[in-house]
Amino acid sequence: MRRSTLPWLGFIVLTLVGVGCTDEGVGDPCIPETIPCDSTGSNCGYQASESYIEATSVQCRSRLCIVHKLDNGTGGLTPSDPRKICTGGDTDEPDCVEEDALKNSVYCTCRCGLEGSDRDFCKCPSGFSCEPVLTNGPEGIRGNYCVRSR
């Protein structure tokens, strides 16, 4: 008697697809491809009081890379550039960031809610909370995102 493997193959594919959809990769490292600079192309980086979402990040499974309140310790005088890691030497540039600050503020995220919406959104993993990040802009990006608990 011969058994068909087609039902088992279908079950395995559905299981793998289902598992893949639940893991958004929240917390995976990423660096935005576009870093804002002043009109001269210098003084690049992000303000410690701001959050930025790159919605086309190929580094993230969710395609969402967040820079959430990245601080380089200058009290907001110099924007923080996530491409420049401080080495602790005298040659460090004022816009560099410490590795811990980079890990805690720049990572893959997912959209976890939108006030007044009944749509299903992602669930934040342990160590992250669902917080309002973008309050302005189109409905497609406005809303709450998973951010690292501090």
pLDDT in tens, 6-57: 444 343 333 333 444 458 999 999 999 999 999 998 889 999 999 999 999 9
In a domain, 6, yes or no: no
Residue 90 located in a structural domain: yes
In a domain, 60, yes or no: yes
Q: Is residue 8 part of a domain?
A: no
Whether 17 maps to a domain, the answer reads no
Q: What is the pLDDT of residue 42?
A: 83
pTM: 0.80
pLDDT of residue 1: 47
Task: Output the 3-class SS for the chain.
Answer: CCCCCHHHHHHHHHHHHHHHHHCCCCCCCCCCCCCCCCCCCCCCCECCCCEEEECCCCCCCCCCEEEECCCCCCCCCCCECCCCECCCCCCCCCCCECHHHHHHHEEECCEEECCCCCCCCCCCCCCEEEEEEECCCCCCCCEEEEEECC
Total of domains in the chain: 1
Model pLDDT for residues 107-142, shown as the tens digit of each residue: 999 999 988 887 889 999 999 999 999 988 887 889
